[in-house]
Amino acid sequence: MPLGVTVAEVFAAANLTPCGPLHWGTAIEETRPGVYVVSVASDPDSCFGLFDTPDLPQNLMPKWLDEEPVVYIGRTRRALRKRLREFYRHEYGRKSPHRGGQAVLLLKPVLLAYWAATDDPVTAERNMIEAFRRRTGALPFANRCRGSVPLIDGIVSPPEPAYLEPAHA
């Protein structure tokens, strides 16, 4: 299966254009709900980024996808700035304030945040995650489920998202 899904391709699966990037920990001023992506690529159209993972715990290594710039896809029905602020201050292993995606906190590369406001973040996130999964055969590294749908393949399936065509050869 082809790898190397870009940030722009993931947002396009939800008919959105990404804002950003901002370095991990930098405040985002967006007050509307929306979706966000944590990436190791500074260009949303690139599959290149820093991919240094030697310090990951052994139990997480099987989830790591080499040469994939997208490491987490998330959503919020609240202000994006508030949800990302919670993610930035989350401590790995705790239940709150942002347990979903906490594995990104273990990564050593430079992390970048991209985002887009939308009135339907649940559907947008589901389409983005499912498009990524269809292209790579896996979820992004730090995602544990497909957009509020438990990972029980064959039992629960999200709605059909837009098909993700590779943007590069």
Paired with 115 in beta bridges are 19, 36
Q: Mean pLDDT of successive 10-residue segments in the chain (169 residues)?
A: 80 97 91 94 82 68 79 93 81 52 66 95 96 92 63 35 44
pLDDT of residue 108: 66
Give which of 136, 125, 122, 123 is closest to 164, Cα–Cα.
136
Amino acid at 128: M
Q: What is the DSSP letter of 10?
A: H
pLDDT of residue 75: 94
pLDDT of residue 113: 92
pLDDT of residue 54: 58
Amino acid at 129: I
Residue 4 and residue 161: Cα distance in Å, rounded? 19
Paired with 2 in beta bridges are none
